Structure 1
């Protein structure tokens, strides 16, 4: 039994037959090769989940919907924290460098983006200039000074590190929350909106 898919989870089991009729050939080939799809933030019909299909090129991304009963395997970003790659790339060296600090930070964290995709699937998705994309599960408020301390560590890393804070009401970029703007962009299934407190449900209702 799979859990309810969350944004950034990787799912296996979607077939080319579930793609729209006008889907590009690269998307058909990706699924035919057995690649997973990644859960994205968007509303979907009952029994389906919004996903993205990855191609070889950066611009090859297709929004689609996968039937929940097609899910054969599900991997979350936090399941990838301690998996290593045999490829010696800056993103992987940065992950090894940051892992002890992230393990000790007191929050649940995970690997997403191209690094997570490759670690989970074995399909090459990273290159020398790839960012390291991370998530941090933050059910309670992460103070802005804590965010700035994290960013200071990331800024010393071997590649650009982008972290998303996963609040109960959506996701916000750590880089924004660590900044000086009074309001930051919060993204969820319904909308993207500017808020001053991503952990306050009243703001999203406003």
Structure 2
């Protein structure tokens, strides 16, 4: 696993909670059971409270999501989407549609020279080795673009990924991450339209995500 303090955690990073970490305040009952099965939380895009990092806890059911904040001293390890892209799922689950699509899109995104990795259910399962995706799960991808990505390149990437997703009969959702915000590849690929740029302090409509940041 990545060393925890090499850099500040970013949205979509998965954090392993250290043993004996105090329970989150006001957490529903399922949170403790979920963390006992897999002691991982995902970094959320939200303001910090002091030095505490905004995180989310996943439950077994789709509607079980809980937002909280955690101090860095309670983080045991950190896994980035980029690190997870080289992990293989359990052999018995590798042919689930989201994992099959993950293998199919790898050479497409690699060919663009961009840093990227799986997020969402696929990323969580690869991190903790606990079943999280189903046959109906989308594939969530994070692509790092700290410098501007030409819109024509984004459109070509979107088209190639959409074709791969159609072939696997699975939906794909790609988030482009700038240095401090994110937006949808699907929105940015449509020439001339503004995109919804998501900051920790809230969303805004912009024409150029990098200039807005």
Q: Which TM-score band applies after superposition, normalised by the shorter structure?
A: over 0.9
1:132 to 123, 126, 139: 139
What TM-score, normalized by structure 1, do the two folds share? 0.92
Alpha-carbon deviations, 1:1-51, whole Å to 9, x = none? 52311100000116673311x311111111122330000011122221000
Q: When the two structures are superposed, what TM-score results if normalisation uses the length of structure 2?
A: 0.89
SS of 1:18's equivalent? coil
| C-alpha contact 2:151 2:191 (8 A) present in aligned 1 | no
Kept after mapping to 1: 8 A contact 2:81/2:117: yes
CA distance in 2, matches of 1:27, 1:168: 31
Alignment length (residue pairs)? 201
C-alpha contact (below 8 Å) 1:18/1:66 kept by paired residues: no
| Other structure's SS at 2:210 match | coil
User: Structure 1, residues 100-138: CA drift from partner, whole Å, max 9, x if none?
Assistant: 222221111111000000001111110001111101110
Q: Which residue of 2 aligns with 1:192?
A: 203
Contact 1:16 1:28 in 2 (8 A): no
1:91 is aligned to 2:91:
no
Gaps of 5+ in 1: none
- 2:47 is equivalent to residue 43 of structure 1: yes
CA distance in 1, matches of 2:86, 2:55: 25
Q: Which residue of 2 aligns with 1:105?
A: 112
CA distance in 1, matches of 2:38, 2:128: 9
The equivalent of 1:27 in structure 2 is: 31
Shift of 1:147: 1.2
- After superposition, the CA RMSD in angstroms is 1.5
SS at match of 2:10: coil
CA distance in 2, matches of 1:16, 1:194: 39
Structure 2 stretches of 5 or more lacking a match?
A: none
Change (3 A) 1:123 1:147: same
Instruction: Tell me the secondary structure at the aligned position of residue 17 of structure 1.
Output: coil
> Runs in 1 of length 4+ with deviation above 6 angstroms?
none
